[in-house]
Structure 1
């Protein structure tokens, strides 16, 4: 019981935004995971890029803030991973990541 009481009253417990902020941000990860089934043409390159930058900045914040917010760090690391995957899908769909064929004749 004392562990539970300590967690409830801790600086990162459920009485603070250090807890509820990351819990709410897991919605971004869930939405990106749901979009994996969508065709790449349906993805927004601009929004996905913004989400990558947002998660990178928030990961730094979660690491630098005292007390360190490991829940927020894990949330944004997961979001960064999924968003980078979505960005690669979008770039392939737009033709940015195609392999270039060597058109020079062999000597």
Structure 2
């Protein structure tokens, strides 16, 4: 950790209310990457929620599968590390959830299209 960073955190820490000091000084608190990385990862959740408006025909199964799998893996990892990182857990749970929902939509759409094609062909 650089001297500039350490000194700036000490300075900012003086202004943090007493009630928030336990969070501020937590090993996965705002002074660490373990806090900020999950905060920025919420952008993936917001994008996933925005994609719920996208037609199911435009949902990428490979992209959604990759997001779902990484969400599941990192959700598990966040509980296996010390200290447990609940911010990482929650964001990855939502990443996995939105991705799995998109996968479900895409598979349902593909099955409906296959049924329409087989009906149109008289099968």
TM range (shorter): 0.7 to 0.9
Q: Which runs of 4+ in 1 moved over 4 A?
A: none
Deviation at 1:93, TM superposition (A): 1.6
User: Greater relative contact order (Cα 8 A, min sep 6): structure 1 or 2?
Assistant: 1
Deviation at 1:55, TM superposition (A): 0.5
Deviation at 1:95, TM superposition (A): 1.6
Please give the secondary structure, in 2, of the residue aligned with 1:55.
helix
Structure 2 residue 87 is matched with structure 1 residue 61: no
Q: Normalised by the size of structure 2, how large is the TM-score?
A: 0.74
Please give the secondary structure, in 2, of the residue aligned with 1:95.
helix
Structure 1, unaligned stretches of length 5 or more?
100-107
Deviation at 1:63, TM superposition (A): 0.5
Structure 2 residue 55 is matched with structure 1 residue 39: yes
Cα deviation digits, residues 3-36 of structure 1 (max 9, x gap): 2223212211111011101101111111110000
- Residue 103 of structure 1 corresponds to which residue in structure 2? none
Cα deviation digits, residues 41-92 of structure 1 (max 9, x gap): 1111000001111001101110001000011111111111111110001111
Whole-angstrom distance in 2 between the partners of 1:75 and 1:5? 23
Aligned length: 99
Structure 2 residue 40 is matched with structure 1 residue 21: no
Structure 2 residue 103 is matched with structure 1 residue 87: yes
Structure 2, unaligned stretches of length 5 or more?
1-16, 116-123
**RMSD across aligned C-alpha pairs, in angstroms?**
1.9
- Residue 8 of structure 1 corresponds to which residue in structure 2? 24
Q: Normalised by the size of structure 1, how large is the TM-score?
A: 0.84
Report the structure, 1 or 2, having the larger helix content. 2
